[in-house]
Amino acid sequence: MKRVLTIQDISCLGKCSLTIALPVISALGSETVILPTAVLSTHTMFTHFTCKDLSDQIAPIAAHWKEEGVTFDAIYTGYLGTVEQIEQIQELIRVFKGQNTTVVIDPVMADNGRLYPAFNMDYVKKNAELCALADIIVPNITEAAFMTGMEYREHHDQGYIQELLASLNELGAGISVLTGVSLAEGKTGVMGYERASGEYYVYQNQRIDAAYHGTGDLFSSTCVGELMKGRDWRDAMRIAADYTAHTIDVTLQNPQKPWYGVDFEATLPKLLTME
């Protein structure tokens, strides 16, 4: 069985980060090892959330794993906390990245043209540096624009997306994938660029007009789980895009849906059948 280490916060309530990554990657058949970077009462779209930073636990936990001879087939990072914490995670990746370890970095820090409340430009710069250690990065357009210094364009064409991918590629990752790419009216999806082959990949599905929290984490976690099943990166992206869109669709049909996250619990069985 493949073993995945995922490093991100626990938002106790909120259906995001570890409360998505753990069930999704496990359901897709990989052992999921977690490194919680902070405990929050909820995600940061609630007001008055509590937050306990766990940075001082990273080094001792990593040291214990090293002593136990633990290895990982993938290391996947999501929402993190501070510049200093990212520095610790850079070190952890250097220590645990073996020849066959796939490093997936989702530089979660912004959306819709704006940084999340907790972050500033130093944090953006550090995330850009973290991306250099990745085999695959999966930022949204806002995060990519911040990390590359390019202008954020809500309405975009393929030319802009290719330029953004070229700049992202300069950060040093093997494959750069942009999420939230809408190349035609009523469509949304992903576009990626693979450094080694120089090839692009575009996938578009139906755009559902609803913005839900945690959908980026659902997408990334699904990618990681599918990659660990041996899927080519393009297939992993396509399945993750379809699964995320399907989950938003199902959530919208639930009259009791919570505002803070999607009903992925209802759609996990379908994910396991997706090709």
User: Which spans of this chain sit near ligand PXL (rule: CB under 6 A)?
Assistant: 9, 11, 16-17, 40, 43-45, 79, 108, 116, 213-214, 216-217
- Closest distance of CB 239 from ligand PXL, Å: 20
Please give the Cα distance from 149 to 73 (Å, whole number).
Answer: 32
Distance of CA 250 to the CA centre of its chain: 21
Residue closer to ligand PXL, measured from CB, 65 or 79: 79
Q: How far is the CB of 10 from ligand PXL (least distance, A)?
A: 9
Minimum separation from the CB atom of position 14 to ligand PXL (A):
7
**Closer to ligand PXL by Cβ: residue 5 or 110:** 110
For residue 74, give the amino acid letter. A
User: Torsions phi, psi of 70, nearest 5?
Assistant: -70, 140
Residues in CB range of 266: below 8 A, 6 or more apart: 247, 250, 254
Nearer to ligand PXL, 17 or 30 (CB): 17
Cα atoms found within 13 Å of the Cα of residue 196, Cβ hemisphere only: 5
Shortest reach from residue 9's CB to ligand PXL, in Å:
5
Distance CA 2, CA 25 (A): 10
Q: To the nearest whole angstrom, how small is the minimum distance from the Cβ of residue 129 to ligand PXL?
A: 20
For residues 11 and 169, which CB has a smaller minimum distance to ligand PXL in the complex?
11
16/240 with CB nearer ligand PXL: 16
Closest to ligand PXL by CB, 47 or 273:
47
User: What 3-state class would DSSP assign to 175?
Assistant: strand
Alpha carbon distance 225, 247 (integer Å)? 16
User: Which H or E element spans position 102?
Assistant: strand 102-105
Least Å distance between CB 157 and ligand PXL?
A: 27
Give the containing element (helix H, strand E) for 45. Answer: none
